[in-house]
A and B are shown apart, each in its own frame.
Chain A
Amino acid sequence: MDMTVTARGGATAVSAEKKRMSRAARELNATVTIVARGVLLTLKSPATLIMSLIMPIVMMYMIGGNLSQNMAGGLGFDYGRFMLIGMLVNMLFMMTCQGLSGLVEDRETDFTQEMFVAPVSRYSIVVGTILGSAFLAIVSCFGTLAVGLFMGIRLGAGQLLAVLALSPLMCLAAGAFGMLLLGSIRNRRAANIAIMLVPMAQMFLSGAIIPIADSSGLLLVLSRLMPMTYCLDLVRAVVCAGTPEYDAVVLFNPAVTSAAILGLTALFLAVGTWLFARSETHK
């Protein structure tokens, strides 16, 4: 093989490709690459995929089903639909956060070094990782819908499309919240505990399966700090728009909810990314 020609030829080709890609395109390409890695890792782990389909059975059928059968009488609205939306959003949050714990695993295998020496923004890396984790979350959403169908709880085609259209925003909000949690945790065991405990607490505080219209005191304050409270409320506002039960299940004006989601997501993403990047380089 003629090394001189081939190596130089390769370098020239690389330089030409480099020149064609603008900075914005490079950031987008890096984000897409990291998302694709997340999807690929999920597809290569059948056990993870199976677990993401078993989760809805536990959460929706066992927890939700029991609440529905024993405690949902006299609420004044369709509890089944209330719970289905709660579980869909809860799945997006839990599974996205769980996927993010892969960042801590990457730290342990030193793979974060490989990402952090790349000439791309830390935000591209974090947003790519969040959206890569969202793939598994969306798989478990389909599992939740299937369990809902089995339980006789359905959404209309328009309502379903609305939920799916909002799901990337929900995943981003969940990922930003997860980054805030994981930003400065270096130990995988501690990260796994945090990533299970906090979303679990959030499920009860934000009204995924239990209405929180009458919460007060510290529980009220905590519910208002949780981004999932606003995500749930927005999805319920969209799904229940124009129905008689709208006032019974929706807490805030959708404009306020949207502003709260965007504000909290931007804040948590900025602080979480800063904490994560800082813990990598400041020792």
Chain B
Amino acid sequence: MNKILEVNNLVKRYDKARYNAVDDISFSVDEGEFFAFLGPNGAGKTTTISILTTTLTKTGGEVLIAGYDAQRQAKEVRENIGIIFQKPSLDPQLTAEENIRFHACLYGVYGYRPTFGLMPRAYRDRVRELAEIVGISDAMFKPIKKLSGGMQRKLEIIRSLIHTPKILFLDEPTTGLDAVSRRGLWEYINRSRRENGTTVFLTTHYIDEAENVDKVCIINHGKIAACCSPGELKRTLEYDPTPRVCLPTLEDAYIAYLTKTERRSA
């Protein structure tokens, strides 16, 4: 399988900081893989994802995405990625459709036209189709300010996929969403993975969302604590989760690993 993302000895130290936020980490993601990057608050997840998406410079190491160097060939990297940031990055003054149109035209997918009706038919059909799939057809022409948090997140998903990226970065995409919205959002992301073979790079605090990923990496204190499949991670559990009728979950293995690395660093 081709590697779509390679991180080698990545280091990031913020200005005036005494310690590295990301400390010499290496991992890779295969094309089409569903990859989870987990860790507690302040572990270095968002710093890493910011470097991978070219919005933050690194201190050292190498990052290759779709064969391009994330620092020297940032524009080529950006052509191949889609991102859902931890904090929503929609323009609250524009409508949902205007936000999508702005994104699609900024990425050169379509030539800009001043109204939805004047945009090419392919754009209009795709927006209608995506809006229907994620269930926000009625809200497409409403200002962002009038949409719920769940609807805004769904809109960001549509926006991030409209230029059909090879790799989709999701930085805690479901934070603050209700259970129904979370499920709907994951159904759409999984559909998109199946249909387009999109590689998904996920960071989340909801460990159950990473239960079905192909590979999981755990980062703690800026270092990689574990990097393997969820099944392998669960098999390394040192304790026996009780009651016995329950199988160990990824969350059990995740907490066990974090506890182990905390003990080591102490």
Contacts and interface: CB of A to CB of B under 8 A. Distances in A.
8 contacts: A8-B196, A11-B164, A14-B164, A44-B93, A113-B83, A280-B55, A281-B56, A283-B14
Interface in A15-48: 15, 17-18, 21, 25-26, 29-30, 32-34, 36-37, 40-41, 44-45
Interface of A: 1, 3-4, 6-8, 10-11, 13-15, 17-18, 21, 25-26, 29-30, 32-34, 36-37, 40-41, 44-45, 106, 109-111, 113-121, 280-283
A33 B15 contact: no
Contacts of A4: 195
Interface residues of B, number: 49
Chain A's interface: helix, strand, loop or mixed, by majority?
A: helix
B75 A119 contact: yes
A17 B110 contact: yes
Contacts of A44: 93
A37 B94 contact: yes
Interface of B: 14-15, 53-57, 75-76, 78-79, 81, 83, 85, 87-94, 98, 102-103, 105-112, 114, 120, 122, 125-126, 129-130, 132-133, 162-164, 191-192, 195-196
A114 B162 CA distance: 14
Nearest to B71: A281
Contact of A37 (B91, B122, B133): B91
Given A3-B191, A37-B91, A111-B90, A29 B126 contact: no
Which of A6, A14, A21, A45 has the largest count of B CB atoms less than 10 A from its CB?
A: A14
A233 B211 CA distance: 68
B110 A7 contact: no
B55 A118 contact: no
Contact of A18 (B57, B75, B92, B109): B109
Which of A37, A111, A114 has the largest count of B CB atoms less than 10 A from its CB?
A: A114
A283 B129 contact: no
Which of B81, B98, B126, B162 has the largest count of A CB atoms less than 10 A from its CB?
A: B126
B87 A110 contact: yes
A21 B108 CA distance: 7
Contact of A30 (B91, B98, B106): B106
Shortest 3 CB-CB distances between A and B: which pairs? A26-B108, A7-B195, A119-B78
Contacts of B102: 33, 37
